Structure 1
């Protein structure tokens, strides 16, 4: 968080790291077709140099990236555990069993809307979009491919449902963070989000239903029997395979923290490998580290099942560390503060204020690749503007979720999008057009603001803190 320990950098100096980062990202991704890591590292280095030239000490700069990284260590550990869980749950037959069940129950026509709803329910229960994507999402991609659904559409439905459920879950870390930044009651925040998220959810459901009918009518059906026969041939099925996911869901219902829940699922999945799939301890350890490698002889099945492992998340973790360093330096040294202060001049009306908050959140998401920073910083910067217009702060927290959290998986180099790619094997550029809920919700929020719908105000002679009790 920015502390006035040195003169606030000018807007021109503050924009230099963003311009350098943007140019480097464009070259690395669209010209050289390489990973965005060095581009973000170059941006972080530039931010440090600009801050130092503006009068910030090395201690302040170091505290910027050190503090940002230290706050997200639990999230990085969860990433590594999810990577291990994916590999183990595939190798143990848990994911193949869910896929086999899906092949026998779901149809191509209704697959996309049902997966959207199911992922939403799973995220609502778990409070974690990433856990849903890394477990149910992996199985959904396999089922969709077997039914002839384009993998980008399936990934879009999974991401949309996972982030929808995450946003309205009282157990979500990002939802709790957003409300706590401004001292808004958690359940007031969630209830107020329903005004914009429910219309966006309904419209998304209609869109996925139309897409499902279009795909099925196009006659692009896969050979489902090939998938089911291959799964039956290479995995042993038993009722006990459903115990690990049920155990994880039960622990979450009991409000056990995410890391113990995931570790429980990992241990039970490892036991399933040894007991039901005839695996050895050596194979289990190798799967935990490097993921499951499928050797069925079918190129499609092998590409589908060969994934997971702690190693598969290294790329995401490294990207998160670098992006956090960039965002942390720019936050602590006041550069992001300077930029947002400049943007705050365009907030004369409620509609313009909402657009500015969403634009700022997206901007920070793009250049810092960190959704938490995209919520925290605009929340602090625009709080006074909302108070001046006597708008309840839950209007601001709702807008922050729409602009900061939901747009994160749409940005290819954002840690959320890189995680989706690591888990599902689909790039953000491919699934973003079909992640309907993620880009539709900010638009709905803007429409509601300009139409002055559900923009609750603080009554005269009443203060916002009293309202939040």
Structure 2
């Protein structure tokens, strides 16, 4: 597409963004509806500007195929969750966790605990599917609004996703920005530490509001009776989550890690609970469907499985296919090129990096794309201004890297909503780390706190 097509393209993207916002947050309809309709809109634009139908079809398919690795991981997590629930792994962990519940500082505790586990595992999704589900179940017995509990878990998970040496997000940002990952990890905490402290203060304040009557002993006892009556509790049930953590620390690729744990979990749960292969297969595909106790209890003891994930999987394919059309037709390049025309100083360019990463995330609903696109476009231009690759990497990490969890139609937000059993728009306001981090980054940029190249530092001191 050409520069004269920009007004038409901008009008389409604004209409798309507004439609997505209304569809997801007001009408509460799946994001893939807008993504598929938006893809049809891009196809019409492409046909108007000289692209053929087969060309546009190949663009969509090529983009959609990029989702396959993520689809495999998300599918395996859903199956693992179903098996863990049917086999008593998650109920057992919840039951044992009840002994450590204290209403004072509960939100701060689960934020810090989730942060530590996420730093160890290096994956937000893995954190949600392990400690996240357990803490969410424990939080259900507290008289604290459940979306706040989920928000604290999501915040902690994304501290690790942003700052763990094992995080694929960290390694992707470092690779695309051209900086050493060890230097990048050290530089990340110049803004990460203030964001972490401010988030901890936020949950501490909320704890003061809700801690007075947060612990409902009767509900806890009812949960425990329910769990003990439906499952045989055994120390063997600790083996699957322990294996998941060990393989994650050993940096086994996520899909092989989860598949190994899934097979091991099937054996352990079959042995402990006496489940047949049919029971395990049903839980993996359809989820654990046992109706138990109250509706609240059923939400955490039942669930999981592959089929309930179908909306997320469709969203993944639709989002990456839509992005394939945007890149293939040149829309992404055309729009972003206009932003770069009047940018001169390094701080201004870094602020623009934050804005571009966030905008790409909102349009494509894909965290990886929001990292790759600004890194590719701005890396050489930023070096010409005297800013270091570390500055570019940090700006991306503090924008698209964390905002993915609070864009309602992104996979990073849909996954915890499904795994933890809440509406995506309900927990988003309370995922405070993800909101604060871009603000901390912009504040640092305004104060001139960013990494510079050696030559730029020498020139500045003369």
Common fold, TM-score beyond 0.5? yes
TM category, shorter: over 0.9
Instruction: Give the match's secondary structure for 1:420.
Output: helix
Q: CA deviation at 1:191?
A: 1.5
Residues 1:191 and 2:186 aligned together: yes
CA distance in 1, matches of 2:415, 2:206: 25
State how 1:88-107 maps to structure 2 within 5 Å.
Answer: 88-107=83-102
Report the CA distance shift for 1:277/1:176 in structure 2 as closer, same or farther (over 3 A). same
Do the aligned partners of 1:351 and 1:446 also contact (CA within 8 Å) in 2? no
Moved more, 315-324 or 332-341: 332-341
Q: String of CA shifts for 1:212-240, please: whole Å, max 9, x gaps.
A: 23211255646221212221221111111
Report the CA distance shift for 1:401/1:60 in structure 2 as closer, same or farther (over 3 A). farther
Unaligned segments of structure 1, at least 5 residues: 1-5, 464-469
State how 1:35-74 maps to structure 2 within 5 Å.
Answer: 35-58=30-53, 60-74=55-69
**Structure 1 residue corresponding to 2:147, chosen from 143, 147, 152:** 152
CA distance in 1, matches of 2:225, 2:199: 34
CA distance in 2, matches of 1:60, 1:176: 33
Q: CA deviation at 1:255?
A: 2.1
Q: String of CA shifts for 1:277-320, please: whole Å, max 9, x gaps.
A: 12222111110001112322322211222211011221111001
CA distance in 2, matches of 1:32, 1:206: 34
- Matched residue, 2:357: 361
Residues 1:301 and 2:301 aligned together: no
- Matched residue, 1:169: 164
Instruction: Give the match's secondary structure for 2:33.
Output: helix
Moved more, 51-60 or 167-176: 51-60
**Structure 1 residue corresponding to 2:377, chosen from 346, 357, 381:** 381
CA distance in 2, matches of 1:427, 1:78: 22
Q: CA deviation at 1:37?
A: 1.6
Do the aligned partners of 1:7 and 1:54 also contact (CA within 8 Å) in 2? no
TM-score by length of 1: 0.92
- Matched residue, 1:424: 420
Report the CA distance shift for 1:348/1:428 in structure 2 as closer, same or farther (over 3 A). farther
Residues 1:34 and 2:49 aligned together: no
- Matched residue, 1:116: 111
CA distance in 1, matches of 2:152, 2:25: 26
CA distance in 1, matches of 2:113, 2:25: 35
Report the CA distance shift for 1:383/1:9 in structure 2 as closer, same or farther (over 3 A). farther
**Structure 2 residue corresponding to 1:137, chosen from 108, 132, 136:** 132
Moved more, 146-155 or 284-293: 146-155
Unaligned segments of structure 2, at least 5 residues: none
What is the CA RMSD across the aligned residues, in angstroms? Answer: 2.1
CA distance in 1, matches of 2:28, 2:246: 43
Q: CA deviation at 1:61?
A: 3.0
State how 1:69-84 maps to structure 2 within 5 Å.
Answer: 69-84=64-79
